[in-house]
């Protein structure tokens, strides 16, 4: 009998792919990075939760911010450290954030909340280390995007994973266990005490690839990008 997958080993295996190339080529991540930069003024103390190889923190450091990063993959943390992030190896789902309360001006959850089972606990950890009035930024895929809606109408799985071993629509598993729409993301942020919640979309990717329509119609966009305050 094959040994069952260990969650920590799964994370280390699948969360190592750098997203930097996507950002540089105008892929899925360009709008996300621009949204984050627009929501953070310079000279802020920032925590990037699930910082990967520091590709977001690198951009923020260039803007004059101090960036801390936590992740579970040592290889990525080494690269993030070279980019100037103050890094620590932390399993964000099962460990407390190793910082004092009310320490950060901004906490970033960029494409991490969909990988976490207890999302309320993650938001509470983020709120604890965030100063009063500080900003939380969340980005996550939109389960109700135009492309996914059309796929579902055609009887095709809208990239909802069902196996750690079998691909979904030809793509390997990336460990998504939670999926959001505009209302559910807003509801959970407000439930956990965050206020002034604003949610934008990145673009309508399926056929139109329209950034303008993505902002006007976030419910149909590929990604959801939220900002709110403690």
pLDDT tens-digit series, residues 85-100: 999 999 999 999 999 9
Q: Is residue 153 part of a domain?
A: no
63 exposure class (CB count in 10 Å sphere: 0-12, 13-18, 19+): middle
Q: Is residue 152 part of a domain?
A: no
Q: Give the pLDDT score at 102.
A: 98
Buried b or exposed e, range 182-192, using 16+ CB within 10 angstroms? beebbebbeeb
Number of Cβ within a 10 Å radius of residue 196: 12
Q: Is residue 203 part of a domain?
A: yes
Q: Give the pLDDT score at 68.
A: 99
Element (H, E) at 136: strand 130-141
Coil vs helix vs strand at 186: helix
Domain count, the chain: 1
Q: Is residue 113 part of a domain?
A: yes
Q: Is residue 146 part of a domain?
A: no
pLDDT tens-digit series, residues 114-130: 989 999 999 999 999 99
| pTM of the entire predicted model | 0.85
Q: Is residue 172 part of a domain?
A: no
Q: Give the pLDDT score at 54.
A: 95
Structural domain that includes position 190: 7-141+181-229
Would you say 66 and 45 are in contact if contact means Cβ atoms under 8 Å apart? yes
73 exposure class (CB count in 10 Å sphere: 0-12, 13-18, 19+): buried
Average pLDDT value for the chain: 85
Q: Give the pLDDT score at 158.
A: 74
What does residue 172 show for φ and ψ, rounded to 5 degrees?
-70, 160
CATH code of the domain covering residue 18: 3.40.50.150
Q: Give the pLDDT score at 103.
A: 98
Q: Give the pLDDT score at 21.
A: 44
Q: Is residue 104 part of a domain?
A: yes
Q: Is residue 164 part of a domain?
A: no
Distance CA(132)–CA(99), nearest Å, equals: 15
Element (H, E) at 225: strand 223-229
Q: Give the pLDDT score at 59.
A: 95
Best CA proximity match to 222, nearest among 111, 144, 153:
144
Would you say 178 and 170 are in contact if contact means Cβ atoms under 8 Å apart? no
Number of Cβ within a 10 Å radius of residue 128: 17
Q: In order along the chain (230 residues), what is the average pLDDT of each group of 10 residues?
A: 46 51 50 92 95 95 97 94 98 95 98 93 98 98 86 80 73 78 98 97 67 74 94
């Amino acid at each position: 009998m094959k040994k069952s997958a260990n969650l920590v080993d799964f994370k280390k295996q699948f969360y190592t792919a750098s997203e930097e190339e996507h950002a540089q080529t105008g892929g899925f991540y360009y709008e996300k990075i621009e949204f984050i930069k627009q929501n953070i003024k310079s000279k802020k103390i920032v925590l990037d939760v699930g910082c990967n190889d520091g590709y977001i923190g690198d951009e923020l450091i260039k803007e004059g911010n101090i960036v801390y990063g936590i992740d579970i993959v040592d290889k990525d943390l080494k690269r993030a450290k070279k980019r100037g992030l103050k890094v620590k190896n932390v399993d964000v789902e099962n460990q407390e954030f190793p910082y004092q309360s009310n320490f950060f001006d901004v906490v970033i959850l960029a494409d991490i909340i969909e990988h976490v089972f207890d999302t309320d606990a993650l938001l509470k950890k983020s709120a604890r280390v965030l100063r009063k009035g500080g900003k939380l930024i969340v980005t996550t895929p939109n389960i109700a995007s135009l492309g996914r809606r059309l796929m579902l109408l055609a009887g095709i799985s809208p990239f909802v994973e069902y196996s750690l071993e079998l691909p979904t629509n030809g793509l390997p598993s990336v460990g998504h266990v939670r999926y959001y729409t505009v209302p559910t993301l807003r509801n959970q942020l407000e439930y956990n005490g965050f206020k002034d919640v604003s949610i934008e979309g990145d673009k309508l990717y399926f056929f139109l690839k329209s950034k303008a329509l993505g902002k006007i119609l976030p419910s149909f966009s590929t990604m959801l990008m939220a900002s709110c305050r403690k």
